[in-house]
Amino acid sequence: MSRIGHRFEQRRAEQRKTLVTYLTGGDPHPRATVPLMHRLVDTGADVIEVGMPFSDPMADGPVIQSACDRALENGTGLRGVLEMVRDFRRTDNDTPVVLMGYLNPIEQIGYQAFARDAAAAGVDGVLTVDLPPEEGSELVAALLSHSLDPIWLVAPTTRMERVNSICGQASGFVYYVSLKGVTGAGTLDVDDVGSHVDTIRQATRTPVGVGFGVRSGHDAARLGQVADAVVVGTAIVSRIAENVGDDAAIGDAVEAITRELRAGLDTPLAEVVD
């Protein structure tokens, strides 16, 4: 079982939900990422997604687009992100790490070389936003050959036939996109999310995480009623953006929102008020 699967099993045994947090590797500068990863873990994150900076992050809203711009301006590429994960692993061999991003940087390295180097650095899973599962067999084979979990997105508009196909390839967790649109957009409809999560669970026993649009501990608490995990990116990256130039303030702001999200997820169901 991968670190991802083990972490979900741990939280399930504790009757708690899993908190997946995202930051863009190299944002706001390369030296900031590893300390922020540790800070996320120390304040309640269970899984960390590290964004691979890309020049055209078409599935992301302006907050994460700007984070990619800052990272690229500071010279962070995919190789640099792998070094950050390797550095993180020097003192944390337990927290699952997922690389999230777009296919082009992976193709530049080559699927087998990327999977080999990612596994050696301590990566546990990979989510490529712009690779349809129907076209992903070569990358999936490379990932599985190095014991990496391929993680796929399911959208509100995904038909059941395709949900079955996606879930047949997924491991680690299935990432349900709670909103139509880009990251950071829209307003959550928890009943609608719950209905879609129930549909996904008909196709797989793999845990289901829900992301896009989670802004607060209250949002996390509400989604924790229906999902195995809550995935939060924009709410964290926006705290980084608000404090660029002051690493201490960035750390404090990231800590504050992570504690809020963790507290929300740990709120007993009876206490959650819509």
Q: pLDDT truncated to tens, each residue of the chain (274 aa)?
A: 899 999 999 999 999 999 999 999 999 999 999 999 999 999 999 999 999 999 988 778 899 999 999 999 999 999 999 999 999 999 999 999 999 999 999 999 999 999 999 999 999 999 999 999 899 999 999 999 999 999 999 999 999 999 999 998 889 999 999 875 444 445 667 889 999 999 999 999 999 999 988 899 999 999 999 999 999 999 999 999 999 999 999 999 999 999 999 999 998 754 655 5
Sequence-ordered alpha helix ranges (H) in 27-173: 33-42, 62-73, 78-89, 103-109, 111-121, 137-145, 160-169
Q: Give the model confidence (pLDDT) of 87-102 as tens digits.
A: 999 999 999 999 999 9
User: Can you give the pLDDT at residue 180?
Assistant: 55
Give the pLDDT of residue 184: 45
pTM above 0.85, yes or no: yes
Instruction: Kindly state the tokens that stand for 253.
Output: 């702001």
Query: Which amino acids are annotated catalytic?
Result: 49, 60
Write the CA distances from 136 to 21, 54, 176, integer angstroms. 25, 19, 18
